[in-house]
Amino acid sequence: MASERSAAAVIPPISHPRRSSVGSWPLIDRTGFVLCWLTGIGLCLIAGGIVLYMLLKGVAYLRLSEFVQSPSPSLHQTQSGGFSDPILGTLLVTAIGIAIAAPVGVALAAWLSEYSRPAWLARAVESGLEMIAGVPSVVLAIFGLLVFSEGFLGFLSTKAFNGTVTGQSFVTAGVVMSVLALPLIVASTREALAQLPDRLREASYALGKTRATTTRRVLLPAIRPSIASGVVLGMGRIIGDTAIITLILGATLKNESADGTPLLGALRGTGSTLTSYVFNNSPAGEGNSHEKAYAAAFVLLMIVLALNALVTRLTNGRRARSADRGWRARTRALVAWTR
């Protein structure tokens, strides 16, 4: 049988269709084609350049001791300490911001996607979100400062020597940061809810469950990976922001407690994050320890890249398999990822 088949198998040479050659295109298309190539390559070069340059500079100046030492006021780079306070500050501000933005954002998205009644309110909320997403963070910062320097909100922040409320503290910075992260979390949650099939909702309604129970127990658990990726995106946004830190956190050298008490005092106190530390110590800032700035910038870049990788992992795991099975794959991706 096999020999019979091989004897009969006289396969004619495979013919390839003639490819369209760029040379035959009109001049404008050829120019556009070349420009597309060049911009693509240029972008790769820039991205690679940032990582490579920061890697070289950062690794050269990065010392393990810098992770544990507090910064100290010195014009000499060997005596200006490390950046443990800014790292701690970054973590603290991000934690406060996300702790507020994640529940609020998920709730907003659930309301917009599942209820959105009355319609005029839903429209208003949507445009409000769009507006917030477009506001420059420095505008948010100065608005936050305006609000939190009101006397009755003085318990949240540091007071100046003469008793005026500065509005500057980790808590107030975290609150303003949450506004920055909110649109990202709402967008990714809403998109995922819109993609869930209606038969999932109907299955739950048919069991006599309310809309609220359905959302809480079926829909939101089903889109956990999307919520997670929205949260991670929001974290990246908070970690990378400098304007709010400079204005509302004070961007002081060290994290300073408001009244000396360890936890509450620190939350009400001022401090700095990696972004403000890099800014202050850069050749453009006052600190003049650019070696430390490079090292800190490298750490910051690594944190943001790690978060980006996390998002890619969350969303890719979802997209790759959602082609065949939709939300089932998303759940599977979640299960696989958590293992």
Q: Which residues bind another protein (CB under 8 A)?
A: 10, 12, 197, 199-210, 213, 217-218, 221-222, 327-328, 330-332, 335
Between residues 48 and 197, which has the closer beta carbon with respect to another protein? 197
Cβ–Cβ under 8 Å, residues 50 and 301: yes
Give the shortest CB-209-to-another protein separation in angstroms.
7
The amino acid present at 103, given as its one-letter code, is P
Between residues 10 and 263, which has the closer beta carbon with respect to another protein? 10
Going by the DSSP 8-state scheme, the letter that residue 223 receives in this structure is: T
Between residues 14 and 28, which has the closer beta carbon with respect to another protein? 14
Place of tokens 């500057």: 168
Between residues 202 and 259, which has the closer beta carbon with respect to another protein? 202
Q: Strands (DSSP E) along 60-178, which ranges?
A: none
Give the shortest CB-73-to-another protein separation in angstroms.
55
- Strand partners for 270: 256
Rounded to an integer, what distance in angstroms lies between the CA atom of residue 258 and that of residue 269? Answer: 4
Q: Is 70 left (phi over 0), alpha (psi -120 to 50) or beta?
A: beta
Give the shortest CB-129-to-another protein separation in angstroms.
24
Give the shortest CB-228-to-another protein separation in angstroms.
15
Rounded to an integer, what distance in angstroms lies between the CA atom of residue 60 and that of residue 289? Answer: 14
Give the shortest CB-199-to-another protein separation in angstroms.
4
Give the shortest CB-328-to-another protein separation in angstroms.
5
Give the shortest CB-98-to-another protein separation in angstroms.
25
Specify the long-range contacts of residues 243-246, CB closer than 8 Å, at least 24 apart: 243/136, 243/137, 243/138, 243/140, 243/141, 244/137, 244/138, 244/140, 244/141, 244/144, 244/173, 244/176, 244/177, 244/180, 245/89, 245/93, 245/173, 245/272, 245/273, 245/275, 245/276, 246/141, 246/276, 246/279
- CA-based nearest residue to 133, from 185, 211, 190: 185
3-state secondary structure of 71: strand
Contact residues for 32 (Cβ-Cβ < 8 A; gap 6+): none
Between residues 18 and 117, which has the closer beta carbon with respect to another protein? 117
Between residues 91 and 218, which has the closer beta carbon with respect to another protein? 218
Give the shortest CB-316-to-another protein separation in angstroms.
19
Between residues 49 and 221, which has the closer beta carbon with respect to another protein? 221
Environment class of 249 (CB within 10 Å of its CB; exposed 0-12, middle 13-18, buried 19+): buried
Between residues 254 and 318, which has the closer beta carbon with respect to another protein? 318
